[in-house]
């Protein structure tokens, strides 16, 4: 069967059909996948039955350098680059909000890949298109944001982990970053507790602006909502999308494997 890439919305996401990720991927096919990934930002591969940790790791290495990336779950024995994501109580689910992964680090990861092993009723994941969020701003707003930088703090994660809130990881990044592969501009914001302040502005000045940009990014015509099935593999570009893990599954089991690839300094 030949590979097909089918858009899932008018804004973001595509389904890749006719590919078995457990089999070797030749350079031509990879090039096609890579093009589709840069264009659609989220790729969904359904029906990847028995996608084991070793398969995930091998597929991940095509895309970059997998890093030990997790505060969200446990490493699998023998696979330090793979996180075993299991359910967390809703009260502490810091991922149930739109966010970029690790913007409070100097070099946030570039790509993550999830493989679904156990799926509840619910537990969807959403991704929004941050190229489009930038493009939809007025020319005057785009001009105003040029050169501004935001201080990100790992407050939500720190709280979830019970960390000392006075010594949380922080980083400062451009509020408009340029994707290193596509050259397109991206709106780089985040949850109000994470994207705390614009450098050089007072809290009173920066808060309404950051809140506006966050709400502006997540309108329903700017995201894809994925309803998980066992055997799904989904990858996303953490340089140009935010995501949101919906926690509506109570005590049901939800198990995913995750790998994360090293990124670049946002510029």
Residues that bind Fe ion (CB under 5 A): 95, 101
* Beta carbons of 244 and 124 less than 8 angstroms apart: no
Strands (E), 10-132: 14-17, 42-45, 74-76, 79-85, 111-118, 125-129
Name the residue nearer to Fe ion (CB basis): 127 or 145: 127
Name the residue nearer to Fe ion (CB basis): 186 or 209: 186
Q: Which residue is nearest to Fe ion (CB)?
A: 101
Q: What angle do CA 23, 25, 30 make, to 5 degrees?
A: 150
Name the residue nearer to Fe ion (CB basis): 137 or 242: 242
Instruction: In whole angstroms, give the CA distance from residue 253 to residue 264.
Output: 34
Label the pairing between strands 125-129 and 241-245. Answer: antiparallel
Q: To the nearest whole angstrom, how small is the minimum distance from the Cβ of residue 99 to Fe ion?
A: 6
Q: To the nearest whole angstrom, how small is the minimum distance from the Cβ of residue 246 to Fe ion?
A: 12
Name the residue nearer to Fe ion (CB basis): 95 or 197: 95
Half-sphere exposure of 4 (CA within 13 A, CB side): 7
Q: To the nearest whole angstrom, how small is the minimum distance from the Cβ of residue 244 to Fe ion?
A: 8
Q: How far is CA 147 from the centre of its chain?
A: 24
First to last CA, the chain: 40
Instruction: In whole angstroms, give the CA distance from residue 4 to residue 11.
Output: 18
- What is the chain's Cα-based Rg? 18
Name the residue nearer to Fe ion (CB basis): 177 or 258: 258
Q: To the nearest whole angstrom, how small is the minimum distance from the Cβ of residue 142 to Fe ion?
A: 27
Q: To the nearest whole angstrom, how small is the minimum distance from the Cβ of residue 243 to Fe ion?
A: 6
Q: To the nearest whole angstrom, how small is the minimum distance from the Cβ of residue 112 to Fe ion?
A: 7
Instruction: In whole angstroms, give the CA distance from residue 265 to residue 267.
Output: 6
Name the residue nearer to Fe ion (CB basis): 81 or 101: 101
Instruction: In whole angstroms, give the CA distance from residue 26 to residue 37.
Output: 16
């Amino acid at each position: 069967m030949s590979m097909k890439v089918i858009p899932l919305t008018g804004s973001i996401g595509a389904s890749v059909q006719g590919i078995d990720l457990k089999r070797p991927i030749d350079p031509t096919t990879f090039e096609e996948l890579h093009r589709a990934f840069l264009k659609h930002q989220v790729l969904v591969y359904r029906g990847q039955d028995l996608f084991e940790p070793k398969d995930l790791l091998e597929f991940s290495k095509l895309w970059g350098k997998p890093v030990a990336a997790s505060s969200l779950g446990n490493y699998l024995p023998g696979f330090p680059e793979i996180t075993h994501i299991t359910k967390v109580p809703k009260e502490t689910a810091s991922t149930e909000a739109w966010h970029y992964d690790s913007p409070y680090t100097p070099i946030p990861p570039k790509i993550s890949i999830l493989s679904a092993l156990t799926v509840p009723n619910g537990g969807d994941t959403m991704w929004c298109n941050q190229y489009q969020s930038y493009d939809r701003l007025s020319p005057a707003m785009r001009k105003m944001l040029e050169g501004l930088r935001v201080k990100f703090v790992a407050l939500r994660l720190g709280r979830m982990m019970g960390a000392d809130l006075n010594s949380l990881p922080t980083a400062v990044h451009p509020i408009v970053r340029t994707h290193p592969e596509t050259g397109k501009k991206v709106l780089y914001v985040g949850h109000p507790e994470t994207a705390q302040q614009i450098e050089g502005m007072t809290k009173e000045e920066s808060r309404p602006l950051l809140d506006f940009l966050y709400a502006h990014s997540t309108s329903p015509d700017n995201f894809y909502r994925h309803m998980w099935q066992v055997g799904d593999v989904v990858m996303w570009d953490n340089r140009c999308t935010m995501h949101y893990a919906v926690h509506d599954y109570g005590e049901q089991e939800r198990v995913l494997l995750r790998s994360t690839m090293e990124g670049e300094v946002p510029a």
